[in-house]
Amino acid sequence: EPAAMGVVGAATSLEDLRTATERCRACPIGHAATQAVPGEGPVGARLMFVGEQPGDQEDLHGRPFVGPAGQLLARAMAELGVERASVYLTNAVRHFKFEPRGKRRIHKTPAQQEAAACAHWLEEEIAMVQPGALVALGATAARSLLGRPVAVTAERGRWLGRADGRQVLVTLHPAALLRMAPHQFDAAFAAWLADLRLAFEGSA
Ligand code: URA
């Protein structure tokens, strides 16, 4: 229950949580980002997808999974016959971490300390949304959700239990698929789709 979570405790609605997240300076990332990016989707969603952090597009729009990684996730959901609006989409880290390079902003993986500083926002969101189950997209999300380092390739594709009893299915981050060589992509996408199908079937 949100009230029991002493770390923040003040947020009593997802809207409050969004406002509080915007002001958070518990790690250095927020200084450079355009805005905090909260999750979106219905309370009580059967599945909550947890990514790493907002990317360039998400930072600019203030919404999760609207850039290239989100488009690949949308394609997977379309192939599985699932509406994006039926799931809750969020991230382990609330602000975009990047390195300026000319006019571009290059994504940087958040440090473990930064992800740890952000984890209570995710926990509050889980407590408010009460998802049926969780999907961790990549190692940062998996570690935040399970509270231990996770080797994604070894632990992907099966349900893992959290201390609160919720089930988590770990799989690749869509950005990992986008970085693959073209000749590897089709098989990797099919395997990813199989993981996601399991998540939807197991949370029905
Ligand atoms: N990658 C993520 O992990 N999250 C987003 O919201 C977008 C890209």
Least confident of 21-25, 35-39, 83-87, 157-161: 21-25
Cα–Cα distance, 161 to 39 (Å, whole number): 22
Structurally, the chain folds into a number of domains equal to 1
CATH number of the domain bearing residue 187: 3.40.470.10
Amino acid 8: pLDDT: 44
- In this structure, the residues whose C-beta lies within 6 A of any atom of ligand 1 are 51-55, 58, 64-65, 67, 69-70, 91, 175
List pLDDT tens digits, range 41-87. Answer: 999 999 999 999 999 999 999 999 999 999 999 999 999 999 999 99
Pocket test for ligand 1, best of 48, 52, 94, 109 (most atoms within 8 A of CB): 52
pLDDT at 5 over 80: no
| Domain membership of residue 152 as a residue range | 2-202
- DSSP per position, 92-110: SSSS--EEEETTEEEE-PP
**57 φ, ψ (degrees, to nearest 5):** -65, -40
- Residue pair 2/14 in contact (Cβ under 8 Å)? The answer is no
- How does residue 10 score in pLDDT terms, banded at 50, 70 and 90? low
Pocket test for ligand 1, best of 50, 109, 173 (most atoms within 8 A of CB): 173
